[in-house]
A and B are shown apart, each in its own frame.
Chain A
Amino acid sequence: MKLFQTEHRRALRAFYGEGHAAFSTLLESLAGTLEAEVAPSSARFDADSGGISSARRRLFEAGLCRMPFDSHGGLSLPFGVYSLAMELVGAADAPTAMSLGIHNTVADGVFRYGSESQKKEVFEDLVSGKRLASFSLTEPSSGSDARAMSTTATKTGSSYRITGTKTFITNAGEADVYFVVARSEKGHSAFLVDGSAPGLSVGADIPKLGMRGSRTAEVRMDGCSVPAENLVGEDGRAFEYVKSMLSGSRIVMGSICVGIALAAYRKALHYATERKLFEKKLSDMQMTRERVADMRAGINSSRSMCLYASRIKETGEDYGSEAAQAKIIATETASRVCDQAIQLFGGYGYTNADVHRHWRDARLLTIGEGASEVLRLIVASMELGGAA
C-alpha cells in the first residue's frame, strides 16, 4: 500500500501554499522507508505484542524526531509537516508511531525548558535516537487529575530523592531517560531520571487491547536519587511545562489516529471493491457507498483539524483549545472509521486481527494523552470561562 498519496500532497498544498512541493518530496520519501521497513511488520507487532524496536530505530535514523526542532540537530520543519509525517507513521504502524510521538514529547520538553547542557547531552541524544525517552506523569490513583499526584521529590543537598509509582507508562523498560513529574516543596517539578538510576524499577508489561507493539508498564521509584542538574527548568513550574508539552503531543496523537483510520479505510475500500454479495460488488451497494463517504469525510476533517491546530502553533499563538479539538475529533473519528471498517468486512472483520487491530489501536487514544472528557473541559473553559 502506498502511504503517501495525492490526498497528502493536496493537504500540504492547501495548508502550505507554494512551499508544499519540498514537503511532499520529503514525506513521500519517508513513506518509502515506512512501506519497506515498518508497514510489512505491523501485523506481526500486534500478534507478538512487541518487537517495534528495529522499526523505531529505522525512523530515528531517517531523522523523523528531528523534524520539528530548529536547532541542536533539528530540521526546522513546520510542526504541521511533522504531524503529517506522524500520520504516515501511524498508518504504517500505530504503536511505533505512539512510542516515537511520546518520546518526542519529552524531547520537546527538554528542548524548550531544559538547560543548555541538557539540550546538548540529552536532547541531541533523543532526536538522534541514541537514547529513548519515556514520559512518566500518570499515577495509579491520579489519571486525568494529574494535580492529585503523590510522587514526591525531596531535595537533599545537591540531589533530589524521588519516591512514587507511575503507571501506564509508554516505553517503560526500554527507555534510557524518564521524564518524571513529582511533587516538590515548591509545587511540581520535572526531572530527567536515568533508566539505570538506583531505586528505579519497571513492572511487568501491562497487557493491552491494542497498541500491542509498544510497551506499557509501571515505573516505580523508591528513594531514587537524581542529581539537581537533572531538574528540568525551574523547580515548581512543571505543570506549566507539561501543559504546553501535552498540547503539541495532542496534535501528534490526533495525527496518528488519522493514520490509523486511513489504514483501516483503505483495507475496507479494497475489500468492498473485491467482495461480491448477492451477485453485486459490495462497493456498488448504496449502504456501502454511504459508509465510504462518511469514512472519507471523517478522515479529511480530522486531518484538516490537526493541520489547522499545527498552523496556529507555528504562528506562536495559543493553540491549546485547537489542539484539544483536533485530538477529540481525530481520535473519536478513528474509532468510528475503524468500527465501520469492521462492519464492512462483516464476520471477517470481527475475526481477522489485521482488520480489527486498527480499531483496537485507535481505541486507546480517546483515553491516553488527554482523555476526551478532559479535552472537552479545556475547550469549554476557553469558550465559557471557568477552570478546565
Chain B
Amino acid sequence: MNIAVCVKHAVDEGELRADTSGRPQLQGALSKMGSFDRNAVEEAIRLKESNGGSVTVVCLGGADSKKTLKEALAMGCDKALAVASARALDALATSYYLSRALKKAGPFDVVLLAEGASDTYHGLVGPMLARWLGLPFLGFARKVEVNGSKVRTEAALEDRAESYETVLPAVISVVSEVNTPRYPTLLQIMQAAKKPMEEVTVESLTDEGAPKFGVTVGDVVVQSVDRKKLVFEGPAEETSRKLIDALRKEGLL
C-alpha cells in the first residue's frame, strides 16, 4: 500500500510569547511538528505495519520544514518530500500545492493528515486536498481500518459519532485520540538522516489552476484578558469560603 502523510512544521504555540507591543515573537520562536500531525504520522506507520507498503511524508513550508520531515522519517516513514514555499500560504493554496506534489509523487492509496494545524487551526486543508485530488474525504477519524481495497473510519462529530466507508484511494484526517504517537529512538533518528528526502518548490508545481487570491493576515496581537490570578491555599473549608465570597462580590452568585 502506498501511503502519504501530510504534516505541518508549526510554531510551538505553547512557547510563543508576545513582545512588548503585544505581537507574537515569531523571530526565533520555537517550532516543531504540529501536535496533531504526530498522530497522522503514527497512523500512517501503523497502516504500513499492518498492510505493508511504504509511507511518504510531505511537508509544505520554509526551510525549517526539514526538521519535521526528519522527525517523521525517524518515526518510521520511508521517504520525505519537502514542498518549499518562501512565504506562508493559506489553506486553499497549501492544499493546491500539496495536491500537485502528491500527484507527481503518487499515486497513493491513502493520504493521511491531521484534523488541523496546532498553531493556526483551520481544519480546511483535508477536505480541500480531497477535492483537488478528486478523492473521497473521511474526516476527523478516531479509528481507521483498512480492509483490502476498502477503508472504514469512525468519526466523532459535535453531537454524534458516525462511521464512513469508501473504496481506496481516499484522503483521511485523524483526530488526536486515534493513537498515541511513538517517539523515535536515537538510532532511528541517526538512520533517518540517510533516508531519501526530495525537494520541490511551489513555483515548479504551479499550473493555470493555481488559486489566484489568498487570505491575507493583517495585524496579529495578543489576546489580552488580564486575569486576577488570586490563588487561595489552605484548608478546604477556608478556601471554599473565600472563593464563594469572591464570586459574590463579582455578582455571580
Which residues of A line the B interface, CB within 8 A?
Answer: 2, 5-6, 22, 25-26, 29-30, 32-33, 36-37, 61-64, 66-67, 75, 77, 274
Contacts and interface: CB of A to CB of B under 8 A. Distances in A.
Nearest to A36: B183
B73 to A, nearest CB: 11
Given A25-B67, A29-B74, A62 B185 contact: yes
A64 B70 contact: no
Contacts of B186: 26, 29-30, 62-64, 66-67, 75, 77
A37 B15 contact: no
A2 B183 contact: no
B183 A63 contact: no
Given A29-B71, A30-B186, A77-B186, 8 more contacts: A5-B30, A22-B193, A26-B190, A29-B184, A33-B183, A63-B187, A66-B186, A66-B187
A191 to B, nearest CB: 31
Interface string B183-201: 1111101100100000000
A210 to B, nearest CB: 24
A274 B17 CA distance: 14
Contacts of A75: 186-187, 190
Contacts of A77: 186
Chain A interface SS verdict (over half): helix
Contacts of A63: 185-187
B185 A26 contact: no
Interface of B: 12, 15, 28, 30, 32, 67, 70-71, 74, 183-187, 189-190, 193, 229
A25 B66 CA distance: 11
A32 B187 contact: no
A271 to B, nearest CB: 13
Contacts of A33: 183
Given A6-B28, A29-B74, A61 B189 contact: no
Nearest to A65: B186
A32 B15 contact: no
Contact of B30 (A2, A37, A64, A274): A2
Contacts of A62: 183, 185-186
Contacts of B229: 274
B189 A29 contact: yes
Contacts of B30: 2, 5
B141 to A, nearest CB: 23
Nearest to B67: A25
B197 to A, nearest CB: 13
A2 B12 contact: yes
28 contacts: A2-B30, A5-B30, A6-B28, A22-B190, A22-B193, A25-B67, A25-B70, A25-B193, A26-B186, A26-B189, A26-B190, A29-B71, A29-B183, A29-B184, A29-B186, A30-B186, A32-B32, A36-B183, A37-B183, A61-B185, A63-B186, A64-B186, A66-B186, A67-B186, A75-B186, A75-B187, A77-B186, A274-B229
Nearest to B181: A36
A2 B187 contact: no
A174 to B, nearest CB: 23
A383 B56 CA distance: 59
A149 to B, nearest CB: 37
Contacts of B71: 29
B15 A2 contact: yes
